[in-house]
C-alpha cells in the first residue's frame, strides 16, 4: 500500500494541513493510521465531504460545487 503525508494530501486535496490532521483525528479518512507523531494516509484515499454547517444551519457547499 502506498502512503502519503499530511502535506501531500493537503496539496492534492487543496485544503490546509491542519484540516487534514483534524480529519485524521476524527477518523474521516478511510485507512488512515497514526505512526508516532505523523499520519499515514493511503494514496488511494478519497477526500472526505465537507459536512460543516453555516450559521443559518444549512450545510456549506462542497469545494467541488459551483456557486451560482
54-64: pLDDT as tens digits: 656 555 554 45
41's enclosing H/E stretch is: strand 38-42
Chain centroid, CA 64 distance in Å: 14
pLDDT tens digits for 4-53? 999 999 999 999 999 999 999 999 999 999 988 899 999 999 998 877 76
The pLDDT, as a whole number, for residue 57 is: 58
29: CB partners within 8 A, 6+ apart? 9, 20, 23, 41, 45, 48
The pLDDT, as a whole number, for residue 68 is: 46
The pLDDT, as a whole number, for residue 58 is: 57
pTM (2 d.p.): 0.69
Residue 23 contacts residue 13 (beta carbons within 8 Å): no
Amino acid at each position: 500500500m502506498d502512503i502519503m503525508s499530511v502535506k501531500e494530501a493537503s496539496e492534492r486535496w487543496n485544503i490546509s494541513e491542519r484540516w487534514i490532521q483534524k480529519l485524521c483525528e476524527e477518523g474521516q479518512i478511510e485507512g488512515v493510521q497514526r505512526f508516532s507523531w505523523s499520519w499515514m494516509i493511503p494514496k488511494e484515499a478519497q477526500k472526505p465531504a465537507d459536512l460543516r454547517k453555516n450559521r443559518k444551519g444549512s450545510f456549506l457547499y462542497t469545494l467541488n460545487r459551483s456557486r451560482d
